[in-house]
Amino acid sequence: MNNTPKGFKSGFVSIIGRPNVGKSTLLNYVIGQKIAIMSDKPQTTRNKIQGVYTSNESQVVFIDTPGIHKPKHKLGDFMMKVAQNTLREVDLILYVVDAGEAFGSGEEFIIERLKETKTPVFLVINKIDKVQPDDLLGIIETYRTKFDFTEVIPVSALQGSNVPTLMEQIVDHLEEGPQYYPSDQVTDHPERFIVAELIREKVLHLTREEIPHSVAVVIEQMKRRDNDMIYIGATIIVERTSQKGIIIGKQGSMLREVGKRARGDIEALLGSKVFLELWVKVQKDWRNKSTHLRDYGFKEDEY
């Protein structure tokens, strides 16, 4: 943009790491509102989610990737390609790890892939509230012996501890550049995508162990009515009839609770009253069928 102030810094930053280390929590804290879904189950993030942080001096575009893991199905293959392609597209990589988890084969798997890139890497040790301060030095030393990190920054994304320091370090490492997005824009995803993610998050939270990651949400309709209320019709896709029964619940109780919780977040996002109508549909083995993956928003050719 031509009116970018002199000395303004900008760049693209990828957030990578194993599933469930708090990548989405970190992104949402930095951006200041929920754009990535959070769950204590692994693999909740399926697409690249761009969050945009803008200040008077800088603009940082974050890409939250699916947790890096060995894929078990076509959806897993898709998620891994997204994560690995991202490493080549950015100015800086944040490798997020869980301070409470021991270094293991999953970390080795990721570090081997980091060695293939020339992009600077920050090690972000998250969930420091779960460990004793004295243990932190040992954790840092373990990772330092495995890879030459540009910076090592311990944080608690949930509490916000040391996140401002992380942001300062990120901006320090970026070069002068344009403002890519307007100051008030926090993501490049269309509202429909975020609405679908918020509904999916509530399904994961409420069904716990009964429903694995065989859930997709498709927004069938989204329009503003004459009374200024936004009508949203959405279909929750599952792989088995038994899963459909769980999501609907006794006399529709579970589906109503999903709708109630999702509606609150969606109204906060859109700044308007929402009428949310939900359906549940069985699509057997959709995660292994390319046509269904495309239908539900996982478009491999975009990456």
Is 126 annotated as contributing to ligand binding? yes
Residues 73-99 pLDDT 10s: 555 565 566 656 667 778 999 999 999
- Is 1 a domain residue? no
Are 234 and 156 in the same domain?
Answer: no
- Residue 104, burial from CB neighbour count under 10 angstroms (0-12, 13-18, 19+): exposed
Q: What is the pLDDT of residue 267?
A: 85
Are 60 and 150 in the same domain?
Answer: yes
Residues 134-177 pLDDT 10s: 899 999 999 999 999 999 999 999 899 999 999 999 999 999 99
Query: What is residue 272's DSSP assignment?
Result: S
Is 64 annotated as contributing to ligand binding? yes
CATH of the domain at 75: 3.40.50.300
Is 212 annotated as contributing to ligand binding? no
- Three-class DSSP category at 280: strand
HSE value, Cβ hemisphere, 13 Å, CA-based, for 89: 18
CATH of the domain at 223: 3.30.300.20
**3-state SS string over 118-137?**
CCCEEEEEECHHHCCHHHHH
What would the two tokens of residue 102 be? 């021991």
Residues 284-294 pLDDT 10s: 765 554 554 45
Is 67 annotated as contributing to ligand binding? yes
Are 110 and 24 in the same domain?
Answer: yes
Is 127 annotated as contributing to ligand binding? yes
Is 164 annotated as contributing to ligand binding? no
Are 153 and 234 in the same domain?
Answer: no
Is 58 annotated as contributing to ligand binding? no
Domain count, the chain: 2
CA distances from 12 to 56, 63, 149, 186 (A): 17, 7, 18, 14
Are 169 and 196 in the same domain?
Answer: no
Q: What is the pLDDT of residue 128?
A: 94
Is 65 annotated as contributing to ligand binding? yes
Are 36 and 151 in the same domain?
Answer: yes
Are 14 and 126 in the same domain?
Answer: yes
Are 155 and 221 in the same domain?
Answer: no
CA-based radius of gyration for the chain: 20
Is 288 annotated as contributing to ligand binding? no
Is 139 annotated as contributing to ligand binding? no
In which domain, by residue range, is 17 found? 9-173
Indicate the helix (H) or strand (E) that contains 246: helix 241-248
Q: Is the pLDDT of residue 180 over 90?
A: no
Q: Global pTM?
A: 0.61
What would the two tokens of residue 124 be? 């972000």
Are 145 and 195 in the same domain?
Answer: no
d(CA 11, CA 47): 20
φ/ψ region of 128 (left if φ > 0, alpha if ψ in -120 to 50, else beta) reads: alpha
Is 289 annotated as contributing to ligand binding? no
* Nearest Cα residue to 50 out of 69, 32, 67, 31: 31
Are 83 and 199 in the same domain?
Answer: no
Residues 18-51 pLDDT 10s: 877 888 889 888 887 666 555 444 444 445 657 8
Indicate the helix (H) or strand (E) that contains 263: helix 253-270
- Is 302 a domain residue? no
- Is 82 a domain residue? yes
- Is 244 a domain residue? yes
Tally the residues of the chain: 303
